[in-house]
Amino acid sequence: MFTIAKTEAARGIWSAFKETLSEPARGMVMVDVIAAGICGTDYHIYSWDAWSAGRIKTPMTIGHEFVGRISAIGEGVTGYSIGDRVSAECHIACGECHFCRTGNAHICEKTSIIGVDRPGAFAEQVEVPASNLWRVPDAIPDKHAAVFDPVGNAMHMVATAKVTAKNVLIVGGGPIGLFAAAIAKAHGARTVALQEPNQARAAIARSLDLDLVINPRDPGASEEILALTGGHGPEVILEVSGNGKALNASLDIAAPGAVVALLGIPAGLVELDLGAKVVMKGVSLIGITGRRMYETWYQVEAFMLKNPDLMDKVITHVLPATDFAHGFELMDEGACGKIVLDFQTLDQRLPI
């Protein structure tokens, strides 16, 4: 189990050890982890930035993207059996607040997050509410099943923005931006452009056969996007970079009436000329968080079943779980797409 020790958290020092958890509580199941994805949130915690220091109560086992098999079932749980292969929604909603009761559990006021507020999946086992489980079809391989969560973020964003027959610009080519590009293309977008300054990630984007992959720092980048869209600008902007300058630049070339879905979290305050860039252009800004429970999960399952080749292009590394530090190094360098940790082959680098 990978845990940040309380006395070591500020220095980002980690320890790895095995631990067998107790029997699951009522309504809970124990899942033996097969594989787990490294999320940007995990990277923030590993780096122990200001957000992490203010949010995480140590010691805490992190990790919230995973697939595994049920090894124990608590009282009151029905519909599942020992050995079932499952993933899980990491946002544990209360089920009682106004938002949960009106079909909006993804913005539950009392959400508890696996790997942030409660022990996570970078471990041999993780305890999960049975209500949050998602049984994974046999046709979906482990390395894909481990990343239902981030693909769900991308799917939620694309579905909310309604990209079909629209000119789409994706701002940021990290894993979620890459998944969003692939999903937008699969959902029938008229054109899909992606801007990303990191050349390793731009290369991954080009492998997805998008209409345009461009470095936003290049002279004439905005003109190329405008040319692609017939001079009108993108009708849908999917912002996953969290970069205020990039957001402002994309709003400058957005088509009148554009929909801008915001998923990237800025490091600080972002200044916008709301009058000129939003109000007078009739632009809609939509905040995207989590996944719709569980509509998004059905959509992700269908996408994974029909597009395994696209999944393989975005998942660039499968590492033994003991090699987690190398995974974070790759993320720090921007030298990867999505990284999955393999908890079945802890001593050798083998594909799942």
Same domain (yes/no): 38, 98 = yes
Question: In this structure, are residues 186 and 303 in contact, taking their beta carbons and an 8 Å threshold?
Answer: yes
Reply yes or no on whether the pLDDT at 267 is more than 90.
no
Reply yes or no on whether the pLDDT at 325 is more than 60.
yes
pTM value surpassing 0.75: yes
Same domain (yes/no): 207, 246 = yes
Packing angle, helices 175-186 and 295-306, rounded to 10: 80
Does a structural domain hold residue 347? no
Does a structural domain hold residue 352? no
Same domain (yes/no): 277, 295 = no
In this prediction, residue 346 carries a pLDDT of: 56
Same domain (yes/no): 217, 130 = no
**Catalytic site includes residue 98:** no
What's 247's domain CATH number?
3.40.50.720
Active-site annotation holder among 3, 7, 20, 44: 44
Same domain (yes/no): 295, 283 = no
Q: Identify the domain boundary among 271, 287, 303.
A: 287
Does a structural domain hold residue 248? yes
Mean pLDDT of 197-213: 97
Reply yes or no on whether the pLDDT at 351 is more than 80.
no
What is the number of residues in the chain?
A: 352
> What are the Cα distances from residue 209, in Å, to 179, 194, 213?
13, 11, 9
How many separate domains does the chain show? 2
Same domain (yes/no): 170, 111 = no
What residue type is assigned to position 140 of the chain? I
pLDDT band at 349 (very low <50, low <70, confident <90, very high): very low
Convert the pLDDT of each residue in 91-100 to its tens digit. 999 999 999 9
Same domain (yes/no): 277, 165 = yes
Same domain (yes/no): 254, 171 = yes
In this prediction, residue 2 carries a pLDDT of: 58
Active-site annotation holder among 3, 7, 20, 41: 41
In this prediction, residue 72 carries a pLDDT of: 97
Does a structural domain hold residue 197? yes
Interacting residues of 280 by C-beta distance below 8 A, sequence separation 6+:
none
Instruction: Give the 3-state secondary structure of residue 175.
Output: helix
Reply yes or no on whether the pLDDT at 209 is more than 90.
yes
Average pLDDT, the chain: 92
Reply yes or no on whether the pLDDT at 7 is more than 80.
no
**Catalytic site includes residue 91:** no
Same domain (yes/no): 80, 160 = no
Convert the pLDDT of each residue in 156-171 to its tens digit. 999 999 999 999 999 9
Does a structural domain hold residue 126? yes
Give the span between the Cα atoms of 17 and 91, in whole angstroms. 26
Same domain (yes/no): 196, 298 = no
Q: Which domain holds residue 168?
A: 154-287
Convert the pLDDT of each residue in 105-149 to its tens digit. 999 999 999 999 999 999 999 999 999 999 999 999 999 999 999
Convert the pLDDT of each residue in 67-77 to its tens digit. 999 999 999 99
Question: What does the longest C-alpha to C-alpha distance in the chain come to?
Answer: 62
Same domain (yes/no): 142, 9 = yes
Same domain (yes/no): 200, 145 = no
pLDDT band at 4 (very low <50, low <70, confident <90, very high): low
In this prediction, residue 199 carries a pLDDT of: 94
What's 92's domain CATH number?
3.90.180.10
How many CB atoms are closer than 10 A to CB 141?
A: 18
Does a structural domain hold residue 260? yes
Does a structural domain hold residue 348? no
Does a structural domain hold residue 351? no
Question: In this structure, are residues 291 and 156 in contact, taking their beta carbons and an 8 Å threshold?
Answer: yes
> What are the Cα distances from residue 287, in Å, to 107, 222, 259?
11, 24, 11
pLDDT band at 347 (very low <50, low <70, confident <90, very high): very low
